[in-house]
Amino acid sequence: PSLPRSFGMTHLRTALLLVVLVGCECFLPVRPPQSMVTDEEALLKHNITTMWFTQQLYHGHPSAGTFKQRYYINKKWMTSPRVMVVNLGGEGPQPPSCVVGPSLETEICQKQGALYLGIEHRFYGKSVPKNGLTLANLFYLDVEQALQDFSTIITAVKKQYNITHVVTSGCSYSGAVSSWMRETYPNLVTVALSGCSPVLARSDFYQYGQKTTAALESVSPMCANRTKHWMHQIQYDIYSMNPARQSSISKIFNACQEIRTQAQADTFWNTWLTWIATLIQYSGVPFPGFDTWKDYCDGLAKVPDTRADVFKFFKGYADELLPKFIQPPSLATPCIVVNFTEAVYQMYLNTSNADGSGAGLRSFYWQECQQLGWFQWGVPDPKLDNTSLYVSQFKGKYFFDSCVAAYNFGPGYNSPPALRPFNKHFGGQHPEGGKLTNVIYINNEEQGLWSTLSITKDLNADSPAVLYKGTGHCTFDYVPPVTISAQLAQQSVISHVANFLAKEDNKLQTA
């Protein structure tokens, strides 16, 4: 379905610029669009002002230089200086509509009479150094530097408005950042909302493919089995090294050239599968262009279970979804890129960012290659093929080669060099040995594709897990809620926030 004019393709592209990765990681933990409000409406109708903060490229080393970081303030709900809610930017542009809502965050603002602050993440959107995303600049892009950015702006705004309590919020990667903010700056951040957050850095994230299967099984085991069977058939054909079988897939799904090598098969599969990843990860997003698991399974149930009919059905979805979400627009070609070198060059070697729409893929894949991992390859053993949409032939080498090609990592690269020290520092799924307090971890109970890297049980009495089900990634945040389960999750989060703030008020009064 076409998008309404009020939404705007620019907003859609910036909000979802990361969802298709060609020649790289299959799918990022990107947050879906947060508002139907356009940037123009946010700036004019809602009186949101864009502001800029001069940040050090390398905190503590001013000689390294500076860059301008974008942020916004909405005072609509502020009735006292007691609370400030902070929407932390993640792996994409942070438009002014991020502080407009309606959302769970704006509901909290209304309940608490809070100031609402939104901050764009360093090296995304328009918060990029003047000379762009050069490799030299990317060396200053990591989680620790981003946390210092956020703390610097939060501290300044907190002082400006004489704020008592800070509540940080994020979902997906930014949800993990919210948890890490509370862990790193406990005297600054009072409460953290950590939605669908992959807090564990991991190189071999093969569980993603298993979770996509589980999501479909929750709707219809028959739908999951048929999808898995025919997805496997495509992979078995392209990895068969049988020219006839490879040519058949190349022709049916309109590859830009005949698939013949392992690298071409990997590049094709990594690009083409994104339509199903988009569909499953964002099921329930209440905006035009997003189908649900049920929509897909209902459609598949009407299709005869033959190779020709199912592949035609798959191609229909791919033809509709891939052009919407491939960025930059130059890759929205009528064919599927299978040349590894071309894909890496087009997607990850572009250092320009003239209008803010270019930052995202290059920046975040650097973070993954250097620190976070989250590479979604196939299961480690052929015996596990039946548990996942991604078979064991889709291996980690593809992602390692992409990192080397895009960022000049040395020979023998087979894991992000900073991954182990990163997990040791932040504690992965056991932050502060399980003693981190005042963090609310919100996750999809059954179908959370990133939940295996998150915290899905109470960390302790003061860091609860709030679960929802029946809808996709980060969709608990929408107002009105997309399901009854999401509504109950929102009510629980709002209650936890109020309780944590009341406890902290009592501590201040008795101090």
Q: What are the tens digits of pLDDT across the range 51-61?
A: 999 999 999 99
Beta-carbon contacts of residue 497 (< 8 Å; ≥ 6 apart) = 108, 111, 112, 167, 191, 193, 440
pLDDT band for position 351 (cuts 50, 70, 90): low
Query: Do residues 370 and 98 lie in contact, with contact meaning Cβ atoms separated by under 8 Å?
Result: no
pLDDT at position 39: 65
pLDDT at position 272: 85
Residue 353 has pLDDT above 70, yes or no: no
pLDDT at position 326: 52
pLDDT band for position 289 (cuts 50, 70, 90): low
Q: Summarize pLDDT for 147-164 with one digit per residue, the tens.
A: 999 999 999 999 999 999
Residue 5 has pLDDT above 50, yes or no: no
Q: Taking residues 164-193, what's their average pLDDT? A: 98
pLDDT band for position 175 (cuts 50, 70, 90): very high
Q: Summarize pLDDT for 312-337 with one digit per residue, the tens.
A: 999 988 887 766 655 444 445 578 88
Best CA proximity match to 184, nearest among 427, 371, 9: 427
Q: Taking residues 34-39, what's their average pLDDT? A: 60
pLDDT at position 31: 52
Compute the distance between CA of residue 69 and CA of residue 71 in angstroms, rounded to an integer. 7
Query: Do residues 9 and 352 lie in contact, with contact meaning Cβ atoms separated by under 8 Å?
Result: no
Percent of the chain with pLDDT over 90: 68
pLDDT at position 33: 55
Q: Taking residues 283-307, what's their average pLDDT? A: 84
Percent of the chain with pLDDT over 70: 86
Query: Do residues 280 and 343 lie in contact, with contact meaning Cβ atoms separated by under 8 Å?
Result: no
pLDDT at position 3: 24
Sort strands 373-375 and 439-444 into parallel, antiparallel or unpaired: unpaired
Compute the distance between CA of residue 328 and CA of residue 338 in angstroms, rounded to an integer. 16
Q: Taking residues 215-236, what's their average pLDDT? A: 93
Q: Taking residues 349-353, what's their average pLDDT? A: 57
The secondary structure of 371-411 as a DSSP string is: IIEEE----SSGGGGGG-SS-TTS-THHHHHHHHHHH-PPT
pLDDT at position 343: 83
pLDDT at position 292: 78
pLDDT at position 331: 47
pLDDT at position 324: 64
Compute the distance between CA of residue 449 and CA of residue 469 in angstroms, rounded to an integer. 12
- 40-54, 338-352, 453-467: which has the highest mean pLDDT? 453-467
Mean pLDDT of the chain: 87
Residue 467 has pLDDT above 50, yes or no: yes
Q: Summarize pLDDT for 364-419 with one digit per residue, the tens.
A: 999 999 999 999 999 999 999 999 999 999 999 999 999 999 999 988 999 999 99
Q: Return the structure tokens found at 156.
A: 């300044």
pLDDT at position 330: 42
What 3-state DSSP class applies to 32?
coil
pLDDT at position 21: 29
Residue 16 has pLDDT above 50, yes or no: no
170 forms beta bridges with 194
pLDDT band for position 497 (cuts 50, 70, 90): very high
pLDDT band for position 302 (cuts 50, 70, 90): very high
Residue 282 has pLDDT above 60, yes or no: yes
The residue that leads in pLDDT, 436 or 470, is 436
Q: Summarize pLDDT for 425-457 with one digit per residue, the tens.
A: 999 999 999 999 999 999 987 778 999 999 999
pLDDT at position 8: 28
Best CA proximity match to 234, nearest among 221, 219, 252: 252
Query: Do residues 364 and 18 lie in contact, with contact meaning Cβ atoms separated by under 8 Å?
Result: yes
Q: Which residues of 149-169 are buried (b: 16+ CB within 10 A; e: fewer)?
A: bbbbbbeebbeeeebbbbbbb
Pick from 199-208, 253-262, 358-367, 403-412: least confident:
358-367
Query: Do residues 24 and 402 lie in contact, with contact meaning Cβ atoms separated by under 8 Å?
Result: yes
Residue 420: HSE in the Cβ half-sphere, 13 Å Cα cutoff: 3
pLDDT at position 336: 87
Residue 184 has pLDDT above 80, yes or no: yes
